[in-house]
Chains A and B, each alone.
Chain A
Amino acid sequence: MTRIDPDAIRRGDRLALSRALTAIESNDPAGQAALAALFPETGKAHLVGVTGSPGTGKSTLVNQLARYFRQNQSPKPPKVGIIAVDPSSPFTGGALLGDRIRMQDLIGDPEIFIRSMASRGALGGLSHSTAAFATLMDGAGYDLIFIETVGAGQAEVDIAQLAHTVIVVEAPGLGDDIQAIKAGILEIADILAVNKADLPGSENAARALRMMLEMAHGKGSLPAAGKHLRSGSPIGQEVTQSLDQGWDPPVQLVTATEGDGIPELAEAIQSHQAYLQSTGLWQAKEAFRLQKDLEALVRDTLMEHWREQVDEDRFAEVLTDLVHHKLSPAEALQLLL
């Protein structure tokens, strides 16, 4: 087991942070110990998720946003953390992590920390350790943390649970207006960015998205930012219902390679943060996420306990009956618990 000094992370020792991230990702107990030491000081960072299909320009956009926040926010620019998730191969477990290629501008600024991570079998666009990564960076004093998802597309909604603000990145030419009214990824957007606005069709893409949003956010509907705080969470429900004023997700055209539209997008991120804080949704989101994290932890731990206790032969027997359709899954469960 490695030893990680939480004070070093607090002091801004980047190697200590980097090693703590590895420990978390490798299930090394030293990682959880460091996280536990820092946890009381966390909960301050603004987590901004960036999701969208492959090739829409998420990495380039994050690069530009990070640079913008570092250069244009006076007097004290935020420390920026970036977590970039790319897929792991389901066959070999290996991964090629290439998001840094688009973020070369940011190297050399000691107040920006970029970490690539492989999804390691998790679905939903993140890795199991992404939330813990964000918490560690928060504990290390990063004020603004961008989380770039795998980019697998429509089912990538885990980011809505983790991030305070979700930017969904679209690009022209990826589909017709029916794509825009399908359920899933667009519903989680707090801000929509239509990237590659210099290409033909970008205005059409933006118009289709605006139309979709108008349909979804007619008068009396729940605000978008609170919609995914489902009834599972008593706190979330209360807040969403008590809100009289909602958030209308803006649609922003950007050309990330040129930096066009970046100031407006940065402003939208800040207005969304102000909106969350003034309505109490910030705390509600935090509470909802921590509840879900705890539930997942309980699920994993119970599963592990059960695995340790279950009789191997009995398990094999029941499994055989299940495979031969002599038992239904529910009946098998009764026999094993």
Chain B
Amino acid sequence: MTDRKIRVLIAKPGLDGHDRGAKVVARALRDAGMEVIYTGLRQTPEMIAEAALQEDVDVVGMSILSGAHNALVPAVIDKLAEYGLDGVKVFVGGIIPEDDVPGLMEKGVYAVYGPGTDTQIVAEEIKAALSQSAN
């Protein structure tokens, strides 16, 4: 009987050092029964894709408060594809202006979460995104 757990990488790309949001989400997903890998601050897109590959995660969540999301998010998604990880689902959290959301979604992000998001929603939408791709 297979018993596959959802594995999530929570990553902080770029240069901002505020990781409270990332930790809150990591903790909430742990409490939702997932295995969460947290890699710490200041990750390059390459480091994120490397960790995603070695850990064989289903989902990558990125927390960005620096304003560099329009550069970082596509760079991470391209790196994931380069590593053969096209199937990995990506969400973004942090301070993201509303105008930038459609562009990120178009690039392949399935959800963008702002401050004050109910963490239970983050967990539920991970499950939904994964069951969608399984069908």
Contacts and interface: CB of A to CB of B under 8 A. Distances in A.
Interface of A: 1, 14-15, 18-19, 21-22, 25-28, 88-89, 92-98, 100-101, 104, 107-108, 113-116, 118, 120
Contacts of B62: none
Given A22-B56, A100-B39, A113-B54, A94 B31 contact: yes
Nearest to A109: B50
Given A26-B3, A94-B29, A96-B30, A115 B55 contact: yes
A205 B35 CA distance: 36
11 contacts: A15-B53, A15-B85, A18-B53, A18-B55, A21-B56, A89-B30, A89-B31, A95-B35, A98-B37, A104-B40, A104-B43
Contacts of A115: 54-55
Interface of B: 1-5, 7, 26-27, 29-40, 43, 46-47, 50-51, 53-56, 83-85
Contacts of B35: 88, 94-95, 97, 118
Judged by DSSP, the binding face of B is mixed
Given A14-B54, A18-B55, A107-B51, A94 B34 contact: yes
Most chain B beta-carbon neighbours within 10 Å: one of A21, A26, A97, A108: A97
Contacts of B54: 14, 18, 113-115
A74 to B, nearest CB: 25
A199 to B, nearest CB: 23
Contact of B31 (A25, A88, A92): A92
A258 to B, nearest CB: 19
B67 to A, nearest CB: 23
Given A21-B56, A108-B46, A113-B54, A96 B4 contact: no
A209 B59 CA distance: 45
Nearest to A18: B56
